[in-house]
Amino acid sequence: MLIWRGYGILVAVITIVIGALFSLGFENFFGIHRDWGVVAGLFVSGIIVWFAGKKVNDPSRGKLVVEKETGKEILLIEEHSMFFIKMQYWAFILGTAGIIMTISLIRNGHS
């Protein structure tokens, strides 16, 4: 079961859709092994997830409220995350997965 908050589910959706498109595209249009499309999809997904996460988790999108009892100001910010990791930080995980997969493909002779 996936655990997400706010738009965090977009990490999985973006990664799956972009990965599938690149995988099929590399194989069908360029004749390159589809695993290289997955690698490219991971990197592109990471970039998209980074910018989307930075936008939706921007603190300036928060709402400032005043507590009646104490008069204290509180900034309410909705968090957008998946598996308790903010969206934008998934970009590093996707990039790392892309690097690991690249190394694996080169070692296995898929260059």
Instruction: Dump the DSSP string for 3-42.
Output: -EEGGGGHHHHHHHHHHHHHHHHHHHHH---HHHHHHHHH
Question: In the predicted model, what is the mean pLDDT of the chain?
Answer: 91
71-86 per-position pLDDT tens digit: 898 888 888 999 999 9
What's the burial of 41, exposed, middle or buried (CB within 10 Å: 0-12/13-18/19+)?
buried
- pLDDT at position 1: 53
Q: Which pLDDT band, with edges at 50, 70 and 90, does 63 fall under?
A: confident
Residue with the larger pLDDT of the pair 67 and 18: 18
- pLDDT at position 52: 97
- pLDDT at position 24: 92
Give the residues across from 81 on adjacent strands.
Answer: 5, 86
- pLDDT at position 71: 84
In this structure, are residues 80 and 46 in contact, taking their beta carbons and an 8 Å threshold? Answer: no
pTM of the model: 0.84
